[in-house]
Amino acid sequence: MSDSRQSMTNTSSELLHGTLDTLVLKTLTAGRRHGYAIAAAIEHTTEGVVEIEEGSLYPALYRMERKGWVEAEWGVSELGRRAKFYRLTPKGRRQLAAQSAEWARFAAAISRVLVNP
């Protein structure tokens, strides 16, 4: 683990503040997952650029559960251990669509600034 990578995580998590929800929701579109699977999926997809700490992942999940974007149930993990699984609700799906669109608009705007001379 290099120091540069550590700083990268911090920067990312700041950048990600507010977009973590979107990432989690997106991850859940593939089906129900437990918390670790969600974190692992995001880390894998971003090739380790984004690391998700428990301290931010689970609060986000609990909040979204309260808002009704995701719902949770206890089930058995792939290794036979009891685990809490999260699943996207219709409300969460709508939320994801709205947030993705917003992110796309934002990203496009930023890149226009950065790309244009």
Partner 1 sequence: MGPVRGRHLPGAREPIAVSPFNRVFWRPPVADEVDDELSFHLEMRVRDLVERGMDPVAARREAQRRAGDVERTRVTLRGLGTGRNRHMERTQYFGELRQDLAFTARQLFKNPGFTAVALLTLALGIGATTAIFSAVYAVVLQPFPLREPSRLMLVGEVWEGTPQVMSVGNYVDVNAAIPDFEQGLSALNYASYNLADETAPERVVGARVTANYFDVMGVRPILGRTFTADEDRPGSDRVVVLSHRLWTRRFGASAAIVGRELRMNGAGYQIAGVMPASFDLTSDSEELWTPIAFTPAQRAEHDEHYLTVNGRLKPNVSRRQVQSQLDAVALRLRHDFPKDDETISFGTVPFVERFVGDYRQRLLTLLAAVGLVLLIACGNVANLLLARGAARAREIAVRTALGAGQGRIVRQLLTESLVLALCAAAAGLVLARGFLAAVIAWSPNDVPRLDQARIDPIALAFAVGIALVSSVICGLAPALRASRRDPQTALRDGGRGSTGGLRDRLRGALIVAEVALSLLLLVGAGLLIRSAIALQRTDTGFEPHGVLSARVTLPATSYTEPARIQETLRRIDEAAAGIPGVSSAAITSFAAMGSGGGTNGLVPEGRAPVAANFINSTLRVITPGFFATLGVPIVKGRNFNDGDRANGQRVMIVSARLAAVAFPGQDPIGKRINCCEPGPAGQKVIVGVAGDIRSRGPAVAPRPEFYLPLPQTPAVAWNWFRTLYVVVRTTGDPAALVKPLNAAVTRVDRDLPLFDVRTMDQRLASSLATARFNTLLLTLLGAIGLALAATGIYGVIAYFVSQRTQEIGVRIALGATRGSVVRLILGQALRPVVIGAAVGVAASLAASRVLSSQLFDVSPTDPLTIAAVLATLVGVASVASAVPARRAAAIDPTRALQAE
**Residues that bind partner 1 in the complex, under the rule CB under 8 A:** 1, 34-37, 39-40, 51, 53-55, 58-59, 62-63, 65-66, 68, 71, 73-74, 77, 79, 81-84, 89
With beta carbons less than 8 A apart as the criterion, state whether 85 and 73 touch: yes
Q: Minimal distance in Å, beta carbon 109 to partner 1?
A: 33
Q: Minimal distance in Å, beta carbon 3 to partner 1?
A: 14
Q: Using CA atoms, how far apart are residues 19 and 32, in angstroms rounded to an integer? A: 20
- Which CB atom, from 91 or from 103, has the smaller least distance to partner 1? 91
Q: State both tokens at 5.
A: 């990578």
- Among residues 53, 63, 102, the alpha carbon closest in space to that of 86 is found at 63
- Which CB atom, from 49 or from 107, has the smaller least distance to partner 1? 49
What one-character-per-residue DSSP string does 14-59 give?
Answer: HHHTTTHHHHHHHHHTTS-EEHHHHHHHHHHHTTTSS---HHHHHH
The secondary structure of residue 69, as a DSSP letter, is: S
- Which CB atom, from 27 or from 89, has the smaller least distance to partner 1? 89
Q: Minimal distance in Å, beta carbon 5 to partner 1?
A: 12
- Which CB atom, from 32 or from 103, has the smaller least distance to partner 1? 32
